[in-house]
Amino acid sequence: MSFNQFTNLDFNDIRTQIKDYLRSNSNFTDFDFEGSNFSVLIDTLAYNSYITAYNTNMAVNESFIDSATLRENVVSLARNIGYVPRSKKASTASITFNVNVSAAALGSSTGARSVKLKKGVVALGAAQNGSYIFSVPEDITVTPNSNGIASFSGIEIYEGNFLKKTFVVDDSQPDAKYILPNEGIDTSTIRVSVIDGSTNTVEDYTPYQNIFNVDSETRLYLIQEIDDERYQLLFGDNILGKKPASGSRIEVTYIKTSGAPANGAQNFTFSGNLTYFQGGNELTVTSNISGITTLQASENGDDIESIDTIKYLAPRVYASQYRAVTATDYTSLIPFLYPNIDSVTAYGGEELDPPQYGKVFITVKPKNGEFLSDVAKDSIKSDLKKYTIAGIKQEFLDLKYLYVEYDSTVSYNPNSVTNSQDLYSRIIKSIQNYASSSDINSFGGRLKYSKLLSQIDNVDQGITSNITNLVIRRNMVPAYNQLANYEICYANQFHVDVDGFNVRSSGFTVSGIDGTLYLTDVPQTASSATEAINIFANRPTQLSPKTGSISIIKITENNEVKTVISDAGTIDYVKGEIILFPINITSTILENRIEIEATPESNDIIAKENLYIVLDTTGKSVLTLKEDLISSGSNRSGSNYIPPSSYTSNTKYTR
C-alpha cells in the first residue's frame, strides 16, 4: 500500500498519518501504538518529516521573488532580471562659502591662482536629532577673482563619512572579489581609480550604464549588492570592458551615510581641507575662511531600498525594458531613477478632456515635503531622456490633495468599556493607522468606507455601532489682489440637495465688497415625466440636478444668509468640479487658503489622475462617543435612545 501524501505541516497530523499507514498493514491492525515503545519511533519519524517538510517549503519559497523573505535572496533574484536595488541615499545640502587667498591674506608677494577643496569631510551640520558629518566625493577647484576671493558657490555636500578602500589585482587568484566592507554606502558617491603597478598611471573608471559603445578599452565597473547590504565591484574581461592589469591597485572612495535621519540639517560649520599651490608646493589654507551660508538644507536622504519595494519594482522595470513608452513604464522607471518618491502616477494626454496627444502627464508625491521641487523635476526629466522615445513630451503636474473629513458617532456599551477616554484614544489611533495604509496612500488609491467602519468597530468588543459621515475638501490657494479664474476638481460626484448649500467654504474677502464672504451652490432643478416616472405612483418625480451655479454669500448680524453675487461660477455635480469666474480675492480667514467642502455621493472616495487622498485626522474631523443605553440595559425599550443622523445637514452654510 502506498504511503499517504502529507497535506499539511502539522506534527500531530503527520503522526496520525503514520499510525494509519501502519494499521493498514495486517501485522499492526490491532497494535497499541500509544502503550508501547513504538510510540517513540513514530514520534521520531513524524518530527523528522515535519522538519524536512518545513525546510523544503522554506527553501522553495526563497527560490521565487514573490515569496522570498531573505534580503540576499530577493536581491539575487532581482539581479537575474537585471535589476540593481537602490542603495542608501545620502542627504545632500547646498552651501556657499568664500576664501580670501589674496597676497595680503597669505602674507606673500602673490596670491593663489586656484584653491582646491579636497575630497572628504567638509562641514558639520546640525539637524533636529543630532549633528552629522558632510563630505564631498571629489575635489572641487575654484579660481579666485581679481580681489583674491575664491567663492565656493552652491556646492553640493553629502552626509556621511568619506572612506577609502584599496585592492591589489592578482591574476593568480581567479576568484578574487572586490568587496567594500561597509554597509550604508551611497553608491552614487563611489569613485574608482586604477593605478598601474609599474608606471603609476592613474585611470578613472565610470559606472556601467548600458552595453552600447562598450569595447575592450572601455573603463567601467559594475556594482552588485551582496550579503549584509554590502557591495561588490565587478570589472570587464578585456572583451566587454577593460580589465585591470595584474599588479595594479584599485582605489575606491565612497561615502558611508546615515540616510534619512540627516534630512533637515543646516547651520554648517566648516571642517574641510583647502589647499593652494605656491612655488611648486601644495599649501594648506588655515585662515580667512568665511562662514558657511546654507542655500538649501539637507534633503533627499533615504534608506536602502526595502525588500517590498524590490519585489514591486524589479519585475516592472524589467517589463519596461528600461524604456518609457506606456504609463506603467513611467510609474516603474521614475522611482528607480529618483528614490525620494512616496508615490507616482502617469497618464497619457489622450485620457484628458479635451485630449492632449503626444504628452504624458506625471505627478509625484515626494517622501519629504508636499510637492516636488523644480530642481527635482528637471533632474527627473533629464534622466528620462535616456529612456523615452522621440515625439513624447513629459509634463509634471503638482499633486492635488483631496482631504476627507469624518464626523463619527461611536456607540459603546458602558458595561464593557470602563475607560471612555482610553477608548477614544484607541479609536483615533486606529483611524490614523488606516489613514497611513496602502489603500489610501497612493495615486489611484481609494478610501474604502466599509474598511473605515470596520477599523472603528474592531477597536473594542464594547463598541456596538458607529455612524460615520464623510465630507471631501480641497484647499484653494488664491492669487491675492488680482482678477483670477479658479478651477477646483474633486473627481468624485457630489451629493445634491435641491435646496442648495451642498458646497461650503471658509471665509474670505473680495475687493469692493464689505464683510466676510463664503461660497455656496444653487442647483439647477429639472422635472421630466418621461425620464423620471415613479413606477409605483405613476407620476413625475424631480430629477437630481447635474449642474448648478456658485453663489457668494455673507452671513448678516441676524444670522441670515444674504446673496452678494448670484453668478460667481458653475458647479458640475457629476464630475465633482467647481469653476469660479474672475474674482479679486483680497484676504482669507485661514492662512493662505480657502477650504471648500462638499458631501460625496459615494462614501468610497477615489483618487483620480493627480489627486492624492488624505484622511484628515487633525482638521475638522469629529469623533463623538455615545453610551448605548439599549445594550447597557438602562433603557431596553429604546424609548429614550435617539440614534445619530446618517446624513450631513444642509442647514450648515459655512465651514
Written as one letter, the residue type at 423 is: L
Give the alpha-carbon dihedral of 101, 102, 103, 108, to 10 degrees. Answer: 0
Cis peptide before 354 (omega within 30 of 0): yes
pLDDT digits (tens, 9 = 90+) for 245-291: 999 999 999 999 999 899 989 889 999 999 998 878 889 998 999 99
Percent residues over pLDDT 70 in the chain? 93
Residue 101 is classified by DSSP as: -
If phi > 0 it is left, if psi is from -120 to 50 it is alpha, else beta; for residue 514 that is: beta
Cell of 551: 453663489
Q: Kind and range of the H or E element at 47?
A: helix 38-61
What integer pLDDT is reported at residue 533 of this predicted model?
Answer: 36
How much is the pLDDT for 6?
Answer: 54
- Model pLDDT for residues 215-230, shown as the tens digit of each residue: 889 999 999 999 889 9
Cα separation, 138 vs 119, whole angstroms: 5
Give the contacts of 90 (CB within 8 A, at least 6 positions apart): 158, 159, 160, 186, 188, 189, 255, 257, 259, 262, 301
- pLDDT bin (cut points 50, 70, 90) of residue 572 is very high
Residue 299 has pLDDT above 50, yes or no: yes
Strand partners, 489: 577
d(CA 341, CA 356): 26
- The mean pLDDT value for 36-42 works out to 80
274, containing H or E segment: strand 274-278
Q: What's the rounded Cα separation, in Å, for the pair 550 and 569?
A: 5
Yes or no: say if 569 and 577 are a contact pair by the CB < 8 Å rule. Answer: no
What is the 3 state secondary structure string of 200-261?
CCEEEEEECCCCCCCCCCCCEEEEEECHHHCEEEEECCCCCCCCCCCCCEEEEEEEECCCHH
What's the CATH number of domain 321-398, 3.30.300.200, 3.40.640.10, 1.10.1740.10, 1.25.40.10?
3.30.300.200
User: Residues near 171 by Cβ (< 8 Å), separated by ≥ 6?
Assistant: 246
What share of the chain in percent tops pLDDT 90? 48
| Other Cβ atoms closer than 10 A to 245 | 13
Judge if 162-256 and 321-398 fold alike in CATH terms: no
Structural domain spans, the chain: 11-61, 92-160+260-299, 162-256, 321-398, 402-655
494 versus 537: the higher-pLDDT residue is 494
For residue 189, give the C-alpha cell.
558617491
Residue 468 has pLDDT above 50, yes or no: yes
What SS3 state is found at 270? Answer: strand
**73-127 pLDDT per residue, tens:** 999 999 998 888 989 999 999 999 999 999 888 888 788 889 999 999 999 998 8
Cell 561597509 maps to which residue? 182
Q: How confident is the model at residue 398 (pLDDT cuts 50, 70, 90)?
A: confident
C-alpha to C-alpha distance for 530 and 507, rounded to whole angstroms: 42
For residues 131-136, give the mean pLDDT. Answer: 95
Burial class (CB in 10 A: 0-12, 13-18, 19+), 518: buried
- pLDDT at position 423 is 93
Query: pLDDT tens across 587-632, in order?
Result: 999 999 999 999 999 999 998 888 889 998 877 899 999 888 777 6
Which residues make Cβ contacts (< 8 Å) with residue 625, sequence separation at least 6? 409, 410, 412, 420, 423, 424
The mean pLDDT value of the chain amounts to 86
Pairing of strands 178-180, 202-207: unpaired
Highest mean pLDDT among 95-99, 335-339, 361-365, 528-532: 95-99
**What integer pLDDT is reported at residue 634 of this predicted model?**
66
Would you state the pLDDT for residue 538?
45
For 263-276, b/e burial (b = at least 16 CB within 10 A) is bbbeebebebebbb
pLDDT at 149: 93
Q: Dump the DSSP string for 154-217.
A: EEEEEESEEEEEEEE--TT-TT--EEE--SSEEEEEEEEEEE-TTT--EEEEEE---STT--TT
pLDDT recorded at residue 638: 62
CATH fit for domain 162-256, picks 2.60.40, 3.30.70, 3.40.50, 1.10.3210: 2.60.40
DSSP H or E segment with residue 364 = strand 359-366
C-alpha 108/C-alpha 115 separation (Å) is 16
Closest C-alpha among 636, 623, 625 to residue 414: 625
Residue 352, sorted as left (phi over 0), alpha (psi -120 to 50) or beta, turns out to be beta
